Structure 1
Amino acid sequence: MTPGWSWYVIALVVINIVGCGWLLWWTAKRRPGDPKPEDTSHYWDDGDITEYNKPLPKWWINLFWITIFFSVAYLLWFPGMGAFAGYGKWTSGKEHDFAQQADNARLEETFAPYRGKSIDVLAANPDARRLGRSIFNNTCATCHGSSAKGAIGYPNLTDDIWHWGGSPDRILQTVLDGREGVMPEWGKVLTGMGGPYAVGDVAAYVRALPDPAHRMQNNFGAARGKQLFENVCAGCHGKDGKGNPELGAPDLTDDYWMYGDDSASLQATIANGRKGSMPAHRALLGETRARLVAAYVWSLSHPEPAVAGAQR
């Protein structure tokens, strides 16, 4: 707050307090010539109702004075007059930090039994899964949905397809440190190599990869796209299109398409690229809560018998 605005606020506060005190003093005192409290001569109806001019009781007026004195003391102790911080040095930031520390202490007590345990062990614990689901709903459901089935551009976490690897350790690493998935723009490169239909040809070949024995038959666009794919795309996705979890390059043979499986969506991905970002949650959640949410996510694609088998 600038000094000018600070003095402006202080002036408003002082004027209001002084004004309230003056108004209370001015209206409470009696002056020579004032009529008696019972002598206003204002009558209603048949004369049974008379308006008096009696002053407020002393105890009531004293309560007003106490309120004014309290407001002055309050403004001296707490910030309220411009840039003056108050003698108590109270701030909302300190109050927030204090409450946060108390909440974190309670959370640490709740999460202590799960600290350092492996993901598959936590996934087999119903209480751990319940806590993980709560953390997921508060933190992850915004992107992946409350059912964890994802949406266009956000992966489905309930299947067995993992672009960055689906082992417990890889899932935990994803939650803690995040991921940055980048699909470069290949439109100009492919057009320069194969002409104006090159992007469409590569899209046709990619759509044929889940079942090449049938989908490549009499598919001349896919046949042309095969050579372009091997020259440009195989560096990340592999010559067979199986992908590379180390790079986050998806397997193109599983018939799962995060950005849509229609021809227009695939061509847009190839020509314009994609950029997906999974934020790091280490600082937000801490390792124990990250382990719990990772265990819950891992359990979604591993039914309880499989979870129990993973522990043996």
Structure 2
Amino acid sequence: MSRGWSIYVIALVVLNIVATVWLLWWTSRRPKGGPDPSSTTGHVWDGDLTEYNKPLPKWWINLFYITIVFSIGYLAWYPGMGNLAGWSGWTSAGEHDQDKAAADAKLAEAFRAYEGQPIDRIAQDPKAVAFGAAIFANNCAMCHGSDARGAKGYPNLTDADWLWGGTPDQILTTVLQGRQAAMPPLAAAIGGDVGVTEVAAYVQSLSGIKADPALAAAGKTRFGGVCAACHGVDGKGNPALGAPNLTDRTWLYGSDFATIREAVTLGRAGMMPAHEPIIGETRSRLAAAYVWSLSHPAAGQDDSP
């Protein structure tokens, strides 16, 4: 809160307290000689029910004063006057941090058994997989979907196709450290609009999609000179670079001609954030174990007798 707003809030609070005290004092004054027992407000109901104009009892008035004194003490103890911290030093942020620390300690105790464990081993424990599913729902489902089947630009985590590799260590590294895809715009490098069209046709032909043979043949040469550096001469990709396999039927952004041309022309820059700084190392392991179990259903079965 800025200094100006803080002064405004303090002035407003003080003005309200002073005005309340004055109003209470003014309305509780007793006339000289005592109240007129015949004085009424003029309100009459049912012919004989009259509202008299009499002051409140002193004990009731004093209760009002006590509440005002309490409010002043409350504002002095807790931060309720602009930027003034209050004598107690209490803050909502501090209380949040204490509650979070207590909750984190409970979670750490619950997750202690999984610290440093390989995710394929963790995935054999149904309880751990349930923990991982909850962590996934809170932190990963907004991109990959509640069923982990992904969407356009977000990988399906339930199949056997992995951009950065599907081994337990590779999946864990992806969750802990994140990934940054970097396909640069290639239109200028492969011959402009004509080159993009030819390469797009060739890429479609790699996965068995019907494409113009002449365009695909010309695109193969251009692909080998530029695109093969990441996707390989055979187009099967490179998990070390996150370069997808272009020979299967799994497409992150779509397999239609226009979408492929867009990718070649403009490039792609998908980003998976690192989750270790967000949810910690052990919870990242549990989430990764859940992801592992989705494409390895047998892993989630407990083989213990």
The TM-score range, normalised by the shorter chain, is: over 0.9
Of 253, 260, 263 in structure 1, the residue corresponding to residue 254 of structure 2 is 260
**Equivalent residues in 2 for 1:223-262 (5 A)?**
223-262=217-256
Moved more, 91-100 or 225-234: 91-100
Residue deviations 1:281-309 (CA, integer Å, cap 9, x gap):
00111111111110110111112169779
Q: How many residues align?
A: 304
Aligned match of 1:283: 277
Report deviation, 1:37.
3.6
Identity among equivalent pairs (%) = 56
Equivalent residue number for residue 203 of structure 2 = 206
Matches within 5 A, 1:89-108: 89-108=89-108
Aligned to 2:152: 152
Equivalent AA in structure 2 for residue 283 of structure 1: P
**When the two structures are superposed, what TM-score results if normalisation uses the length of structure 2?**
0.93
Q: How does 1:15-26 map to 2 (within 5 A)?
A: 15-26=15-26
Equivalent position SS for 1:51: strand
Q: Is the 8 A contact 2:123 2:300 kept in 1?
A: no
Q: In 2 relative to 1, CA 41–58 (structure 1 residues): closer, same or farther, beyond 3 Å?
A: closer
C-alpha contact (below 8 Å) 2:177/2:275 kept by paired residues: yes
Query: How far did 1:38 drift?
Result: 4.3
- Structure 2, unaligned runs of 5 or more: none
Distance of 1:299 and 1:53 partners within structure 2: 78
**Where in structure 1 are there 5+ consecutive unaligned residues?**
none
Aligned partners of 2:41 and 2:71: how far apart in 1?
39
Deviation at 1:239, TM superposition (A): 0.5
Give the TM-score of the pair, scaled to structure 1: 0.91
Residues 1:269 and 2:263 aligned together: yes
Q: Which residue of 1 aligns with 2:112?
A: 112
The 8 Å contact of residues 132 and 283 in structure 2, kept in 1 or not, is answered as yes
Measured in 1, the distance between the counterparts of 2:285 and 2:51 equals 76
RMSD of equivalent CA atoms? 2.2
Distance 2:130 2:201 in 1: 44
Asked if residue 187 in structure 1 is aligned to residue 184 in structure 2, the reply is no
Code of the residue aligned with 2:191 in structure 1: it is T
Contact map agreement 2:78 2:85 (CA 8 A) in 1: yes
Query: Deviation of residue 54 (structure 1)?
Result: 2.3
- In the alignment, residue 122 of structure 2 is paired with which amino acid? L
* 1:4 to partner: Cα distance: 3.7
Task: Give the direction of change, closer, same or farther, for the CA distance of 1:234–1:61 in structure 2 (3 Å limit).
Answer: same
User: Contact between 2:41 and 2:53, CA under 8 Å: does it hold in 1?
Assistant: no
